[in-house]
Structure formats: C-alpha cells, structure tokens
Amino acid sequence: MSATVAAQITEEQKQHFRDEGYMILERAIPDEHLQMLREECQFFIDLENRRMEAAGKESDGINHKGTRYFISQRFKESKRLHEFLFSELMAEICKATIGENSYLFWEQYVVKSAEKGMKFGWHQDSGYVGFEHTPYLTCWCALDDMSEQNGTAYVMPFSRQGTREIVPHTREEGSNDLICYRGEDPGDPILVPAGSIACFTSRSFHRSGFNRTNKMRRVYLPQYSPEPIINPKSGQAGGFTIPFLKNGVNVYKHEA
C-alpha cells in the first residue's frame, strides 16, 4: 500500500481540494492501520466512560456518555497511533493539500453509538479555534462503512458555501455544538467504505447526521497545519505543534 500512496492522489483530486475545499480518497488506509485505529478507539471509549462515571456525569462538553464521543489529543497515551499519524500515507496527503511543511495540530476520535448516536451541526473546524489562523487540514478517516443511515458527514463545496473565511458560530442549546450555518443546503454526503479518508480544509462547512443503525459509527480525525497555530494574544498553542514534514521530509521523531 505505501508504495502506491502518491499514485492514489490524482491531479483531479488535488484540483477538487483547491476548488471546492475537499477531496475523497477511497480505501486509502492500510488494513493493519485500520484495525489498529479501531482497537485504540475502543480503548479510549472505555477510558472516557470510566472517567465520566467516576465524576457522576452523563455528559462533558460535547461528549455524551453512550451516545456521542469526541476523544481528543490522546495519541501520546497510545503506543501505536503515531504509526498512522506520521505515516507515508499522511505525509503524501499533507503534501497534496497544505504543502511541504506540516505539523500535527489535533487528533481525535468521533464516535456515534448504535441506534442513538447524535447528530453534529454545521460548523467549520476553524470556528472552534477561537482566533485567526492559517487554514489547516482535516483528515476524516472512516473506520466503518459510511452511509446516511449511520450518520455520515456532509461537506459543503466552496462553490455553494459562498465564502472561504471563518464565519460567526453560535452555541446550540442542549448539544453545546457551535453552529455556523442554518440554511437549506444539505451538503454532499460522504458515502465511502471503511478505510477511506475525506480530506477537507478547516474552513469547510460540514455536519453529520444521527446514527440509526445497530452498530457504532467511528471516525478518526487527525488535523495538520502548515505552521504552528499560536494564539497571538496569549502566545499559547491552540493544539499540538509537533513537526511532521519539513521541506517534504518526514522529521517526526517518536518518543518511546
């Protein structure tokens, strides 16, 4: 698989990313990485459940126990996630989208539980950062076959979105989601098999539906920036600032 990564990303896909803000890579994740991502997902769901139970909570921010999980910034607690995050596959995706220099900015699991997984409203990933920054890359990695029934994501092409800027977001009561769009356009559904990756810019409007099936719907979501994302007022990083590519060369050094 790794020897053909670059060939999988066509010029047409790269142009679609530039024009519309996203591209789809079907069945791009090697089988061994897909299995590893699923195993680590369950490990962190179990940890999150125990944490909420110990605190006597059914929800924590946008996490809802047994319903929806956003499990963020845990890769340093894992012995294996780095193998995927800093792989040749992700290097080629970064080079095809944000260029020869990249940093790991964020990583998280997004999980909708069977038959009750909640929706997630229209938003831009940049809307959650809280300050101006260079657009970054979101890699929406499907760990299960995706359908409208199990709550796949929908993305708005730039040609219909009408802007490439960060727009105001308002917090939705009940879900705590930040919402940027309340119009009628449903967006384009990401209907892909497990192991596929939807790559989109942090300025793209996207949402997801309810999971109405009897199985979990799992996504792993690494995000990469072309430069460190630093709050200009506080001087603090908005997320990770872990070097990955420098002039197209993988410079990540794993800390055992």
CATH of residue 192's domain is 2.60.120.620
Quick check: is 2 in a domain? Answer: no
pTM of the model: 0.90
> d(Cα 26, Cα 191) in Å, to the nearest integer?
10
Quick check: is 175 in a domain? Answer: yes
pLDDT, residue 2, reads: 44
Angle at which helix 11-20 crosses helix 88-97, to 10 degrees, equals 60
pLDDT, residue 118, reads: 60
Quick check: is 1 in a domain? Answer: no
- Note down pLDDT in tens along the chain; length 256 residues: 444 565 589 999 999 999 999 999 999 999 999 999 999 999 998 888 888 888 787 667 667 667 778 899 999 999 999 999 999 999 999 999 999 999 999 999 999 887 665 677 899 999 989 899 999 999 999 999 999 999 999 999 999 999 999 998 988 877 778 889 889 999 999 999 999 999 999 999 999 988 899 998 999 999 999 999 999 999 999 999 999 999 999 999 887 6
Quick check: is 48 in a domain? Answer: yes
Number of domains in the chain: 1
Quick check: is 6 in a domain? Answer: no
Quick check: is 168 in a domain? Answer: yes
Q: What is the pLDDT of residues 155-197, one digit of tens each?
A: 999 999 999 999 989 888 777 788 898 899 999 999 999 999 9
pLDDT, residue 112, reads: 86
Q: What is the 3-state secondary structure (H, E, C) of 196-221?
A: CEEEEECCCCEEECCECCCCCEEEEE
Q: Which of 151, 121, 130, 162 is nearest to 219 (CA)?
A: 151
Quick check: is 67 in a domain? Answer: yes
Quick check: is 4 in a domain? Answer: no
Range of the domain at 81: 13-250
